[in-house]
Structure 1
Amino acid sequence: MRDTPTVHAHLTGVVVHGAGRGRGLGFPTANVAADPGSLVPPPAIYSGWVLRHSTGAVHRGTISIGSNPTFCDTADVHVEVYCHDMSDEFYGERVGLWFVARIRDTVKFASPDDLVRAARQDVLRSEVLLSSDRGRRVLTDALALYEKTVSA
Protein backbone atom coordinates (compact mmCIF):
# COMPACT_ATOMS: atom_id res chain seq x y z
CA MET A 1 0.00 0.00 0.00
CA ARG A 2 3.03 2.30 0.09
CA ASP A 3 2.71 5.46 -1.94
CA THR A 4 -0.85 4.72 -2.98
CA PRO A 5 -2.04 8.05 -4.37
CA THR A 6 -5.04 9.59 -2.72
CA VAL A 7 -7.63 11.55 -4.59
CA HIS A 8 -6.95 15.26 -4.44
CA ALA A 9 -8.19 15.23 -0.86
CA HIS A 10 -8.40 18.61 0.76
CA LEU A 11 -9.16 19.08 4.42
CA THR A 12 -9.67 22.44 6.12
CA GLY A 13 -9.72 23.26 9.79
CA VAL A 14 -8.28 25.24 12.66
CA VAL A 15 -5.00 24.53 14.43
CA VAL A 16 -5.70 23.58 18.06
CA HIS A 17 -3.62 22.58 21.05
CA GLY A 18 -2.75 18.91 21.33
CA ALA A 19 -0.98 16.86 23.97
CA GLY A 20 2.42 18.37 23.06
CA ARG A 21 3.92 14.94 22.62
CA GLY A 22 5.26 15.61 19.09
CA ARG A 23 7.40 18.51 20.28
CA GLY A 24 8.94 16.29 22.95
CA LEU A 25 9.79 13.69 20.31
CA GLY A 26 11.43 16.26 18.04
CA PHE A 27 8.50 16.45 15.63
CA PRO A 28 6.30 19.36 16.68
CA THR A 29 2.93 18.96 15.03
CA ALA A 30 0.03 21.24 14.34
CA ASN A 31 -3.16 19.52 15.46
CA VAL A 32 -5.99 20.34 13.07
CA ALA A 33 -9.64 20.26 14.12
CA ALA A 34 -11.27 19.45 10.79
CA ASP A 35 -14.18 21.62 9.71
CA PRO A 36 -17.56 19.88 9.76
CA GLY A 37 -18.07 18.29 6.38
CA SER A 38 -14.34 18.15 5.56
CA LEU A 39 -13.25 14.89 4.06
CA VAL A 40 -10.89 13.25 6.54
CA PRO A 41 -8.96 10.46 4.79
CA PRO A 42 -8.65 7.10 6.54
CA PRO A 43 -6.04 6.71 9.30
CA ALA A 44 -2.55 6.58 7.78
CA ILE A 45 0.58 8.66 7.29
CA TYR A 46 0.45 10.97 4.25
CA SER A 47 2.62 13.49 2.46
CA GLY A 48 0.95 16.80 1.76
CA TRP A 49 0.96 20.56 1.59
CA VAL A 50 -0.11 22.88 4.41
CA LEU A 51 -1.64 26.16 3.28
CA ARG A 52 -1.98 28.84 5.96
CA HIS A 53 -5.06 30.87 5.12
CA SER A 54 -3.97 33.93 7.11
CA THR A 55 -0.75 34.43 5.16
CA GLY A 56 -1.06 32.30 2.02
CA ALA A 57 2.19 30.58 3.00
CA VAL A 58 2.58 26.98 1.90
CA HIS A 59 4.64 24.43 3.80
CA ARG A 60 5.78 20.88 3.11
CA GLY A 61 4.20 18.43 5.51
CA THR A 62 3.90 14.89 6.74
CA ILE A 63 0.39 14.27 8.00
CA SER A 64 -0.67 11.69 10.56
CA ILE A 65 -4.30 10.70 10.85
CA GLY A 66 -5.02 8.25 13.62
CA SER A 67 -5.45 7.59 17.31
CA ASN A 68 -1.77 7.62 18.39
CA PRO A 69 -1.69 3.84 18.97
CA THR A 70 1.87 3.83 20.34
CA PHE A 71 0.66 5.74 23.39
CA CYS A 72 -2.75 4.01 23.73
CA ASP A 73 -4.24 7.07 25.44
CA THR A 74 -7.31 7.62 23.27
CA ALA A 75 -9.47 6.07 20.61
CA ASP A 76 -10.18 9.50 19.10
CA VAL A 77 -8.81 10.08 15.62
CA HIS A 78 -6.49 13.11 15.39
CA VAL A 79 -5.21 15.01 12.38
CA GLU A 80 -1.63 16.18 12.98
CA VAL A 81 0.82 17.71 10.55
CA TYR A 82 4.56 18.09 10.89
CA CYS A 83 5.77 21.04 8.78
CA HIS A 84 9.19 20.22 7.38
CA ASP A 85 10.27 23.79 6.83
CA MET A 86 9.06 25.75 9.84
CA SER A 87 8.46 25.41 13.55
CA ASP A 88 6.23 28.44 14.20
CA GLU A 89 3.23 27.95 16.40
CA PHE A 90 0.08 28.90 14.58
CA TYR A 91 -2.69 28.05 17.01
CA GLY A 92 -6.09 29.37 16.02
CA GLU A 93 -5.15 29.74 12.35
CA ARG A 94 -7.21 28.20 9.56
CA VAL A 95 -5.26 25.82 7.37
CA GLY A 96 -5.87 23.68 4.34
CA LEU A 97 -4.18 20.30 4.03
CA TRP A 98 -3.68 18.98 0.52
CA PHE A 99 -2.83 15.28 0.39
CA VAL A 100 -0.30 14.11 -2.17
CA ALA A 101 0.11 10.41 -1.32
CA ARG A 102 -0.35 7.83 1.39
CA ILE A 103 2.97 6.71 2.85
CA ARG A 104 2.01 3.92 5.25
CA ASP A 105 -0.51 2.66 7.79
CA THR A 106 -0.54 4.02 11.31
CA VAL A 107 0.83 1.34 13.58
CA LYS A 108 1.64 0.79 17.23
CA PHE A 109 5.39 0.93 17.77
CA ALA A 110 7.19 -0.94 20.54
CA SER A 111 8.67 2.30 21.88
CA PRO A 112 8.72 6.07 21.30
CA ASP A 113 12.26 5.65 19.88
CA ASP A 114 10.92 3.25 17.23
CA LEU A 115 8.20 5.79 16.40
CA VAL A 116 10.81 8.57 16.00
CA ARG A 117 12.90 6.39 13.66
CA ALA A 118 9.83 5.68 11.53
CA ALA A 119 8.84 9.38 11.56
CA ARG A 120 12.26 10.33 10.22
CA GLN A 121 11.80 7.90 7.34
CA ASP A 122 8.25 9.20 6.76
CA VAL A 123 9.55 12.76 6.41
CA LEU A 124 12.25 11.67 3.95
CA ARG A 125 9.67 9.78 1.88
CA SER A 126 7.27 12.73 2.08
CA GLU A 127 9.97 15.06 0.71
CA VAL A 128 10.42 12.81 -2.32
CA LEU A 129 6.67 12.67 -2.93
CA LEU A 130 6.20 16.43 -2.56
CA SER A 131 8.99 17.00 -5.11
CA SER A 132 7.42 14.60 -7.60
CA ASP A 133 5.29 15.63 -10.58
CA ARG A 134 2.19 14.66 -8.64
CA GLY A 135 3.31 16.67 -5.63
CA ARG A 136 3.83 19.76 -7.78
CA ARG A 137 0.42 19.28 -9.48
CA VAL A 138 -1.33 19.08 -6.12
CA LEU A 139 0.47 22.24 -5.02
CA THR A 140 -0.56 24.05 -8.22
CA ASP A 141 -4.20 23.01 -7.66
CA ALA A 142 -4.06 24.12 -4.01
CA LEU A 143 -2.67 27.54 -4.90
CA ALA A 144 -5.20 28.04 -7.71
CA LEU A 145 -8.11 27.27 -5.39
CA TYR A 146 -6.66 29.52 -2.71
CA GLU A 147 -6.30 32.41 -5.18
CA LYS A 148 -9.92 31.92 -6.29
CA THR A 149 -11.09 31.97 -2.69
CA VAL A 150 -9.08 35.08 -1.79
CA SER A 151 -10.16 37.04 -4.86
CA ALA A 152 -13.86 36.14 -4.48
Structure 2
Amino acid sequence: MDDTPAVPAHLMGAVVRGAGRGRGLGFPTANVAADPGSRIPPPAIYSGWVVRLATGVVHRGTISIGSNPTFCDTEDVHVEVYCHDTSDNLYGERVGLWFVARLRDTVRFASPDDLVRAARQDVLRSEALLASDRGRRVLTRALAAYGKTASA
Protein backbone atom coordinates (compact mmCIF):
# COMPACT_ATOMS: atom_id res chain seq x y z
CA MET A 1 0.00 0.00 0.00
CA ASP A 2 1.37 3.40 -0.95
CA ASP A 3 2.04 5.47 2.14
CA THR A 4 2.63 8.73 0.29
CA PRO A 5 -0.21 11.19 0.75
CA ALA A 6 -1.81 12.70 -2.32
CA VAL A 7 -1.08 16.31 -3.12
CA PRO A 8 -1.68 18.62 -1.33
CA ALA A 9 0.61 17.86 1.58
CA HIS A 10 -1.41 20.14 3.82
CA LEU A 11 -4.95 21.37 4.36
CA MET A 12 -6.32 24.31 6.32
CA GLY A 13 -9.71 24.89 7.85
CA ALA A 14 -11.79 25.65 10.92
CA VAL A 15 -12.68 23.15 13.63
CA VAL A 16 -16.45 22.61 13.72
CA ARG A 17 -18.81 20.44 15.74
CA GLY A 18 -19.29 16.88 14.58
CA ALA A 19 -21.51 14.04 15.72
CA GLY A 20 -19.47 13.57 18.93
CA ARG A 21 -19.10 9.86 18.23
CA GLY A 22 -15.29 9.84 18.55
CA ARG A 23 -15.40 11.01 22.15
CA GLY A 24 -17.69 8.12 23.06
CA LEU A 25 -15.25 5.69 21.44
CA GLY A 26 -12.29 7.10 23.37
CA PHE A 27 -10.89 8.99 20.38
CA PRO A 28 -12.26 12.55 20.50
CA THR A 29 -11.72 14.15 17.12
CA ALA A 30 -11.57 17.69 15.84
CA ASN A 31 -13.77 17.94 12.75
CA VAL A 32 -12.14 20.24 10.22
CA ALA A 33 -14.21 22.16 7.67
CA ALA A 34 -11.66 22.61 4.90
CA ASP A 35 -11.29 26.09 3.45
CA PRO A 36 -13.39 26.62 0.30
CA GLY A 37 -11.61 25.43 -2.83
CA SER A 38 -9.27 23.16 -0.87
CA ARG A 39 -8.16 19.90 -2.41
CA ILE A 40 -8.89 17.21 0.15
CA PRO A 41 -6.76 14.06 -0.07
CA PRO A 42 -8.59 10.81 -0.93
CA PRO A 43 -10.47 8.97 1.81
CA ALA A 44 -7.98 7.13 4.04
CA ILE A 45 -6.38 7.24 7.47
CA TYR A 46 -3.26 9.42 7.63
CA SER A 47 -0.52 10.34 10.05
CA GLY A 48 0.09 14.07 10.37
CA TRP A 49 0.78 17.22 12.30
CA VAL A 50 -1.91 19.62 13.53
CA VAL A 51 -0.85 23.27 13.70
CA ARG A 52 -3.09 25.63 15.65
CA LEU A 53 -2.78 28.73 13.50
CA ALA A 54 -3.54 31.36 16.17
CA THR A 55 -0.88 30.11 18.57
CA GLY A 56 1.51 28.01 16.48
CA VAL A 57 1.09 25.10 18.91
CA VAL A 58 1.66 21.78 17.15
CA HIS A 59 0.07 18.44 18.01
CA ARG A 60 0.67 14.90 16.77
CA GLY A 61 -2.36 13.52 14.99
CA THR A 62 -4.09 10.69 13.20
CA ILE A 63 -6.35 12.03 10.47
CA SER A 64 -9.42 10.30 9.08
CA ILE A 65 -10.86 11.39 5.76
CA GLY A 66 -14.02 9.60 4.76
CA SER A 67 -17.72 9.04 5.28
CA ASN A 68 -17.63 7.05 8.55
CA PRO A 69 -18.62 3.78 6.82
CA THR A 70 -18.86 1.76 10.05
CA PHE A 71 -21.87 3.85 11.06
CA CYS A 72 -23.40 4.21 7.57
CA ASP A 73 -25.12 7.45 8.51
CA THR A 74 -23.85 9.69 5.73
CA GLU A 75 -22.08 9.70 2.40
CA ASP A 76 -20.55 13.09 3.08
CA VAL A 77 -16.77 13.08 3.37
CA HIS A 78 -15.50 14.35 6.73
CA VAL A 79 -12.03 15.42 7.78
CA GLU A 80 -11.42 14.46 11.41
CA VAL A 81 -8.23 14.50 13.43
CA TYR A 82 -7.45 12.77 16.70
CA CYS A 83 -4.77 14.75 18.54
CA HIS A 84 -2.57 12.30 20.41
CA ASP A 85 -1.28 14.79 22.94
CA THR A 86 -4.15 17.09 23.90
CA SER A 87 -7.82 17.00 24.78
CA ASP A 88 -8.19 20.77 24.35
CA ASN A 89 -11.44 22.05 22.94
CA LEU A 90 -10.47 23.31 19.47
CA TYR A 91 -13.93 24.44 18.32
CA GLY A 92 -13.73 27.59 16.23
CA GLU A 93 -9.95 27.46 15.85
CA ARG A 94 -8.26 27.44 12.47
CA VAL A 95 -5.81 24.61 12.01
CA GLY A 96 -3.37 23.38 9.41
CA LEU A 97 -3.11 19.64 8.86
CA TRP A 98 0.24 18.45 7.46
CA PHE A 99 0.15 14.91 6.12
CA VAL A 100 3.15 12.65 6.80
CA ALA A 101 1.91 9.31 5.48
CA ARG A 102 -1.14 7.33 4.47
CA LEU A 103 -1.74 4.54 6.99
CA ARG A 104 -4.59 2.55 5.45
CA ASP A 105 -7.85 2.68 3.56
CA THR A 106 -11.04 3.86 5.23
CA VAL A 107 -13.10 0.70 5.71
CA ARG A 108 -16.35 -0.44 7.26
CA PHE A 109 -15.77 -2.44 10.44
CA ALA A 110 -18.13 -5.13 11.72
CA SER A 111 -18.53 -3.31 15.04
CA PRO A 112 -17.47 -0.16 16.89
CA ASP A 113 -15.15 -2.36 19.00
CA ASP A 114 -13.33 -3.47 15.83
CA LEU A 115 -13.03 0.18 14.81
CA VAL A 116 -11.53 1.09 18.20
CA ARG A 117 -8.98 -1.73 17.94
CA ALA A 118 -7.94 -0.51 14.49
CA ALA A 119 -7.78 3.10 15.71
CA ARG A 120 -5.39 2.09 18.49
CA GLN A 121 -3.11 0.49 15.90
CA ASP A 122 -3.42 3.56 13.66
CA VAL A 123 -2.28 5.82 16.50
CA LEU A 124 0.73 3.59 17.23
CA ARG A 125 1.77 3.61 13.56
CA SER A 126 1.16 7.35 13.37
CA GLU A 127 3.37 7.98 16.42
CA ALA A 128 6.21 6.03 14.86
CA LEU A 129 5.90 7.91 11.57
CA LEU A 130 5.77 11.30 13.26
CA ALA A 131 8.95 10.45 15.19
CA SER A 132 10.74 9.35 12.00
CA ASP A 133 13.05 11.48 9.87
CA ARG A 134 10.22 11.89 7.37
CA GLY A 135 7.85 13.06 10.10
CA ARG A 136 10.39 15.61 11.36
CA ARG A 137 10.98 16.92 7.83
CA VAL A 138 7.24 17.50 7.39
CA LEU A 139 7.11 19.23 10.79
CA THR A 140 9.99 21.51 9.79
CA ARG A 141 8.18 22.46 6.55
CA ALA A 142 4.93 23.06 8.44
CA LEU A 143 6.57 25.33 11.00
CA ALA A 144 8.44 27.25 8.31
CA ALA A 145 5.20 27.80 6.39
CA TYR A 146 3.74 29.58 9.41
CA GLY A 147 6.95 31.38 10.37
CA LYS A 148 7.45 29.27 13.51
CA THR A 149 10.64 27.70 14.78
CA ALA A 150 9.46 25.80 17.89
CA SER A 151 9.03 22.05 17.65
CA ALA A 152 6.29 19.73 18.83
Q: TM-score, normalised by structure 1?
A: 0.94
Q: Does 1:88 align with 2:88?
A: yes
TM superposition shift of 1:60: 0.1
Q: Deviations over 1:82-101 (max 9, x none)?
A: 00000011100000000000
- 2:147 is paired with a residue of what secondary structure? helix
TM superposition shift of 1:48: 0.1
Show the 5 A alignment for 1:44-55: 44-55=44-55
TM superposition shift of 1:41: 0.3
Pairwise CA RMSD: 1.1
Residues 14 and 92 in structure 1, CA contact (< 8 A), matched pair in contact too: yes
Residues 25 and 116 in structure 1, CA contact (< 8 A), matched pair in contact too: yes
TM superposition shift of 1:37: 1.9
Distance 1:33 1:103 in 2: 22
Residues 29 and 83 in structure 2, CA contact (< 8 A), matched pair in contact too: yes
Give, as a single letter, the amino acid of the residue that structure 2 aligns with 1:16.
Answer: V
Q: Does 1:20 align with 2:20?
A: yes
Give, as a single letter, the amino acid of the residue that structure 2 aligns with 1:134.
Answer: R
Give, as a single letter, the amino acid of the residue that structure 1 aligns with 2:75.
Answer: A
Distance 2:126 2:4 in 1: 12
Relative distance call for 1:38 and 1:8 in structure 2 (3 A) is: closer
Distance 2:36 2:71 in 1: 27
- 1:68 is paired with a residue of what secondary structure? coil
**Structure 1 unaligned spans of 5+:** none
Residues 8 and 100 in structure 1, CA contact (< 8 A), matched pair in contact too: no
Show the 5 A alignment for 1:2-151: 4-6=3-5, 7=7, 9-147=9-147
Distance 2:119 2:16 in 1: 21
Distance 1:107 1:34 in 2: 22
Distance 2:28 2:104 in 1: 20
TM superposition shift of 1:39: 2.0
Give, as a single letter, the amino acid of the residue that structure 2 aligns with 1:29.
Answer: T
Q: Which runs of 4+ in 1 moved over 4 A?
A: none
Give, as a single letter, the amino acid of the residue that structure 1 aligns with 2:61.
Answer: G
